[in-house]
Amino acid sequence: MARLSVNINKVATLRNARGGNNPNVLQVAQDCERFGAQGITVHPRPDGRHIRYADVLAIAPLVTTEFNIEGYPSPEFVELVLRVHPQQVTLVPDPPEAITSNAGWDTITHKQRLRQIIGTFASNGIRTSIFVEANADLVKHAADTGAHRVELYTEPYAAGYAANREQAIAPFVEAARMAQRVGLGLNAGHDLSLQNLRYFAQQVPNLAEVSIGHALICDALYYGLENTIQMYRQQLA
């Protein structure tokens, strides 16, 4: 059964809208674990518009499950990861001004750069995942970087789910099978929701972990955070 990592960025966005410390992202991280989350994901950006670098440092010692830090591998980000030493770092190719991650790495063009960065993390005992699109060839080349896992960018699946879920899932199944062939673990994330998560988890082989933030926090406004986390866990059962 795939593990659920809750991305708490949107909680920090709400806090930052008014300043102060309400909601308290440290408490939310702990509550998510208490309510059944099997990991906590954060994605700090240089402009600090949601999770800030200071938040990452404060959350790290509180997480008792798995701490996953996502981000663009700038020198500052690499330094932060090495300081925190999370269980997992997920490398994304989006520039600092991007609203959200909306594309995966070209693992052919950027192979050498990724290899160098991942080598640094690996030598420090940190598992690395690369954010990639559902393209079997790019997944195949991801294995050459030394990464431990790939995270499939699932927005295209979510966008096509209602119209034709079989067609939408097909490239993800192919990419997952390639990951298995080349020895990569498999994560997934972006726009997964209560509506489309169960089918994705049922169809995609060897899925280790999903990272879900926006949809889960939105659902929590209606169902409550504890109930929502359990509902997402049930979709993965």
Q: Is 70 a catalytic residue?
A: yes
Q: Exactly one of 50, 141, 148, 190 is catalytic; name it.
A: 190
Query: In terms of Cα–Cα distance, which of 91, 33, 100, 35 is closest to 67?
Result: 33
| CB neighbourhood size of 173 (10 A) | 16
27: Cβ contacts below 8 Å, ≥ 6 apart: none
Q: Exactly one of 43, 50, 141, 148 is catalytic; name it.
A: 43
Q: Exactly one of 33, 70, 133, 151 is catalytic; name it.
A: 70
Question: Which secondary-structure segment (H or E) carries 215?
Answer: helix 214-223
List, as one string, the DSSP characters of 94-123: --TT-SS------TTTTHHHHHHHHHHHHH
Q: Is 148 a catalytic residue?
A: no
25: Cβ contacts below 8 Å, ≥ 6 apart: 8, 11, 12, 15, 51, 55, 59
Alpha helices in 23-181 (DSSP H): 25-34, 53-59, 75-84, 111-123, 136-142, 155-160, 165-181
Q: Is 166 a catalytic residue?
A: no
| CB neighbourhood size of 231 (10 A) | 17
Q: Which residues are catalytic?
A: 43, 70, 190
